[in-house]
Amino acid sequence: MLPFTLQQLRILKAIATEKNFTKAAEILYLSQPSLSKQIKTLEKNLDILLVNRENNRISLTENGKIFLEYSERILALCEESCRALIDLKNGDRGYLIIGASQTIGTYLMPRMLTLFAQNYPQIDLKVQVNSTQIIAKSILNQEIDIAIVGGEISDDLKKNLTIEHFVYDELNLIVSKSHPFANKKTINKEDLYCLDFITLNSNSSIKRFIDNILIQNQIETSQLKTILQLNSIEGIKTAVSLGLGAAFLSSSAIEKEIKLKMIKILKIKNIKITRKLSIISNSECYKSKAFDFFYNDLIRLKNKIKRYF
């Protein structure tokens, strides 16, 4: 007999996530006394302390953290086995968890999912949008099946991921239609020093990427004038359209504004800022039929166009 049940593993994971017995019990539809009893039973069977309960603060002990890693793997394998059996039983039916980094998830993914859902209405889809690093970790933890990301993936995560180039995303310099530069087809690198910039905050991976490209093209980014930093692309688009400044944004994020002629794109002579979007998945994870359908759709899209945006 194993010294634990799957329900006890789910409880430990919920406690680690919520750091609160009451909230953990709620998400598992258990009473708090029942949840507490299960954890005490688990600790007794393992003969180790898993959860610290000091000064009304809940945290895992070192033993608890190690056991949680194995618990998550066990639960993921259990879920994977059920999904494999469902695929075998129902043929092409199933569900798929798709991940996307922020800009892709907001502007590109909805259109792709709409088309996929029309072609495969029998497949249930769930989407998670987060930073590239968090999405990559979720892929490795088998919490997400497949994802499209645009940010850099750390080397320690790359070794266990399947990473495939998807398309290139162009990052455009935009200004309002009333901006003094709005009638110019191209500007020189030196003109960038005359602009007031609106950017994402300094810890944004997109901002760091743009700065690196500009530096590679001998542009002193420290000399560029940033008048406003915002936390959202929508906020930046609004500020630019109102004439507050210029900004670099993904072409997928400004399609509506370009169509409505709210902003203008400025081309910089001899500079083109693009970033590579990648398809990532877990190289060791079972690939369902739903996964194959979505992946093949992506490859068809990739082969059909040189650039999606």
| Rounded distance between C-alpha atoms, residue 157 and residue 101, angstroms | 16
pTM (two decimals) = 0.67
Mean pLDDT of 208-237: 90
Tokens of 214: 């500009």
| Rounded distance between C-alpha atoms, residue 268 and residue 173, angstroms | 8
Distances (CA, A) of 177 to 150, 233, 265: 29, 18, 9
Residue whose pair of structure tokens reads 């900004």 in the numeric block: 247
49-53, 66-70, 120-124: segment of lowest average pLDDT: 120-124
Per residue, the 3-state secondary structure of the chain, as one string, reads: CCCCCHHHHHHHHHHHHHCCHHHHHHHCCCCHHHHHHHHHHHHHHHCCCCEEEECCEEEECHHHHHHHHHHHHHHHHHHHHHHHHHHHHHCCCEEEEEEECHHHHHHHHHHHHHHHHHHCCCEEEEEEECCHHHHHHHHHCCCCCEEEECCCCCHHHHCCEEEEEEEEEEEEEEEECCCCCCCCCEECHHHHHHCEEEEECCCCHHHHHHHHHHHHCCCCHHHCEEEEEECCHHHHHHHHHCCCCEEEEEHHHCHHHHHCCCEEEEEECCECCEEEEEEEEECCCCCCHHHHHHHHHHHHHHHHCCCCC
Convert the pLDDT of each residue in 253-273 to its tens digit.
998 899 998 999 999 998 888
| Rounded distance between C-alpha atoms, residue 35 and residue 216, angstroms | 56
| Domain covering 6-84 assigned CATH 1.10.10.10 in the classification | yes
**Angle (nearest 5°) at CA 235 between 231 and 236:** 90
Q: Is the pLDDT of residue 11 over 80?
A: yes
pLDDT at 103 (0 to 100): 86
Class for domain 169-275, per CATH? alpha beta
Name the residue with higher pLDDT: 87 or 221.
Answer: 221
pLDDT at 305 (0 to 100): 59
Q: How confident is the model at residue 218 (pLDDT cuts 50, 70, 90)?
A: confident
159-163, 179-183, 204-208: segment of lowest average pLDDT: 204-208
Q: Beta strands 274-282 and 146-149: pairing type? A: antiparallel
Convert the pLDDT of each residue in 58-108 to its tens digit.
999 999 999 999 999 999 999 888 877 776 566 556 789 999 998 898 888
Which part of the chain has CATH 1.10.10.10? 6-84
Mean pLDDT of 30-46: 95
pLDDT at 203 (0 to 100): 80
20-34, 96-110, 133-147, 202-216: segment of lowest average pLDDT: 202-216
Residue whose pair of structure tokens reads 């003969």 in the numeric block: 47
Give Cα 212 distance to the centre of its chain. Answer: 22
Q: What percent of the chain has pLDDT over 70?
A: 96
| Rounded distance between C-alpha atoms, residue 11 and residue 181, angstroms | 59
Mean pLDDT of 178-192: 92
pLDDT at 308 (0 to 100): 40
Q: How confident is the model at residue 151 (pLDDT cuts 50, 70, 90)?
A: confident
Which part of the chain has CATH 3.40.190.10? 93-167+276-304, 169-275
Q: Beta strands 263-268 and 161-176: pairing type? A: antiparallel
pLDDT at 93 (0 to 100): 66
Superfamily of chain region 93-167+276-304:
Periplasmic binding protein-like II (3.40.190.10)
**Contact status, residue 60 vs residue 66, Cβ threshold 8 Å:** no
Mean pLDDT of 118-134: 89
Mean pLDDT of 150-178: 90
pLDDT at 309 (0 to 100): 42
Residue whose pair of structure tokens reads 């075998």 in the numeric block: 88
